[in-house]
Amino acid sequence: MSEPPVSAEAAAVTRQSRLVTRFGLYIVGFAVLLAFGSFLIFAGLTPLLPTDDIVIGLFIANAVVILVLLALVAIEAWRLYAAWKAKVAGARLHARIVTLFSVVAALPAILMAIIGSVTLERSLNPAFMQDVRGFVGNTVEAARLFRESQCQSLLQESRLTAADLDRGKALYDADQTIFRDYFASRAKFLGFSAAAIMKTDGSVIEKVDTGAAEGVEIVKPEPSDFDDARKNEPLCLVLKEGRTFVALRPLPAFPDMFLYTARPVDPFTIEFARDANNLIALYSAFDSHRRNIQIAFATMYVAIAAIMLLSAVWLGLSFANRLVAPIRRLIAATDQVSSGNLYVQVPVHRSEGDLGHLGETFNKMTSELRLQQNRLIAASHTIDERRMFTEAVLSGVPAAIIGVNPQGVITVLNPAAEKLIAAEGQSEAHAIGRPIAAVMPEVEETLDVARTTPMRIVRSQISISRGGRDRMFNVAVTTGATGGDKERSYVVTLDDITDLVGAQRTAAWADVARRIAHEIKNPLTPIQLSAERLKRKYGKVIIEDRAVFDQCTDTIVRQVDDIKRMVDEFSSFARMPKARPEVDDLSECVRQVLFLMRVGHPDIAFEDALPEQALSARFDRRLLSQALTNVVKNATEGIAADENRDGKSPPRIRVTLAEAPEGWCDIRVVDNGKGFPKVDRSRLLEPYMTTRNEGTGLGLSIVAKILEDHGGGIELLDAPDGQGACVRLFFPRGLEQPASDIPPPDAAPAQGG
């Protein structure tokens, strides 16, 4: 695969990076050679001697190289920091590699520095040298103590001699010659090299010869020395370069006179102290030289270690750059692929080896992915078109369609099925993923038949009750063609045929009513006229059992009237007048019906909840009043038929009127009577179905027909508080546009025929 084209800016950056890398390699090579040469010169392995000038020159050269290396490392570190801060791809990997190289280079250098410093310290300052230094210091201290002991001995003997001379004051006054001999013998016995009695001005009163080989000259003390002697200070005067000790002691018996004594110091003490001082000076000079050697070697080692460490760090940075550069390109390209760009290609350099081969493989992978993506997109477009077509077909189908997997779990619902499930108080999200036996147990039996039969389609009819509403459905279970017998999916179709069945029954009863009315109505009038004529003509003639005769004729007339009324109801049901809707106030229509009912049933409390303002709607006032009157009349009869009313709340009927969403009018009549039966409640809307002995069963059928002509329907519900019945009448307002085929919210399709 050919390398992708590289821009001029990228080529310039690459060329600049290569120049910087080449310059850094030259600097690193020169630095390593300079460090190695410095070590050879310091070790004395070259003809060049490590003089001060050469050492200073090497230090300066090494310092310059170190600064250059620091600059190179700082530049690379700044680039690394800028890449990390900008979150460039591979910045963290780059930082980890550089850190690893730095640690690998720094740890041996630090370890060798510690070992070298300890070794150099031990080699130039062995442990016994501390003992030698202590011994030399102790000899100096011993010489000092010996000199002080000689001084104290001279002072003590001078003090005793002064006391003896004080006691010989009488002899001095009697015979000075004898006193002088006594003084001389005493000085000679004590080993004084010189002895004399002098005044504070330095004049000598008596001087004796002690017989020393060399005469000792009497030296005049300072006035302060006489003051110290008066205070008995234990001080000796040192004369002749420390070779003679002189002591002054006061003579109380001789006014203003002092005993002057002198004794030579032991020459060994003087020479030993001088030799000890010279030895200490030599040791101090050695110690100072040792420190200079340590500093020189430490400086050289630090310079060499710094050069090696910085060289290793820069090489690590350079190697990390060469290693991370292709990885960074791959990461950047991978990020673009993850964002959806499959047209990205990474530059491939043959010098990168396996990483270059990895770039070639990446480019091949993106090409294959792009080809596969194009194929998948084309297939996805086809699938989306088919799916949208299927969804459009399913959304327009009025039948409820439910998809079920082989485990009996719901997977798909169309809008009609969602509405059917929502009527049970469940949402689509709640139904999908649940077993169909838990959501709609009525279809489980038909589904079991489909599982056990080889037939592709299984059909049945079921009745579904939701919220007190009974609906009749045609059920068709279609077996899918996926997998074996145990892995087949199913499509359940539920078609609501409640209205169709009701309409068929209503049409059949209407035809029966027309035929009955036609056959019965013809002989009713002659029968009634004949009975009335018999009563008029023979009523006066018959004397015996006149009451029976009158009762029989009245019964015939009354029963004929009842049969006429029944025939009229048949006729009314069979030929309902066509609705003529007009815009009118629905609230006023409801109020008039309630007024008549309150007058006719004063023992029942009628409550209403009507809008304060007029609620305009398009309806037939006469037919709707008839329907509402029929419903309220049924409520009063339901209260009267309640045999268990003793001890309960007083009879009450509540009528509410509201405008429901989507422009529907909602009328509810709630009573606290006996209520509707729990089963087969929808059958009450069929002709001639009633729960009362005296009823014809056409009232609710006529109400349903009136609401159907208005585009609405009727629902038979339970009272909200659980006691009594609730009849809901709904129809569209029809002010702006014709009524929609969609029933109002929270309602099932219109019931009744």
State which H helix or E strand residue 536 sits in: helix 498-538
Give Dmax (Cα) for the chain. 223
Confidence of residue 423 (pLDDT cuts 50, 70, 90): low
State yes or no: pLDDT of 230 exceeds 70.
yes
Q: What is the CA radius of gyration of the chain?
A: 67
Domain 582-732: assigned CATH number: 3.30.565.10
Domain map (residue ranges) of the chain: 8-126+286-316, 144-265, 397-495, 503-574, 582-732
Residues 6+ apart with CB under 8 A from 234: 151, 152, 155
Average pLDDT, the chain: 75
Task: Report whether pLDDT(12) > 60.
Answer: no
Q: How confident is the model at residue 657 (pLDDT cuts 50, 70, 90)?
A: very high
What long-range pairs does 564-570 form, CB within 8 A, spacing at least 24?
Answer: 564/521, 564/524, 566/696, 567/516, 567/517, 567/520, 567/521, 567/524, 569/696, 569/698, 570/513, 570/514, 570/516, 570/517, 570/698
40 within 8 A of 54, measured Cβ to Cβ: no
Q: Report the pLDDT value the prediction gives residue 665, as an integer from 0 to 100.
A: 92
Q: What is the mean pLDDT of residues 558-577?
A: 65
CB 229 within 8 A of CB 260: no
DSSP 346-389: ----GGGTHHHHHHHHHHHHHHHHHHHHHHHHHHHHHHHHHHHH
What confidence score (pLDDT) does residue 201 get? 81
Instruction: Give just the sign of the alpha carbon dihedral 5, 6, 7, 8.
Output: negative
Q: Residue 729 has what pLDDT?
A: 92
Q: Each residue of 611-642: pLDDT tens digit?
A: 888 888 999 888 898 889 989 988 888 888 87
Instruction: Look up the CATH number of domain 144-265.
Output: 3.30.450
* The domains spanning 144-265 and 397-495 adopt the same CATH topology: yes
Architecture per CATH, 397-495 = 2-Layer Sandwich (3.30)
pTM beyond 0.75: the answer is: no
**Cβ distance 553 to 535 under 8 Å?**
yes
Residue with the larger pLDDT of the pair 516 and 428: 516
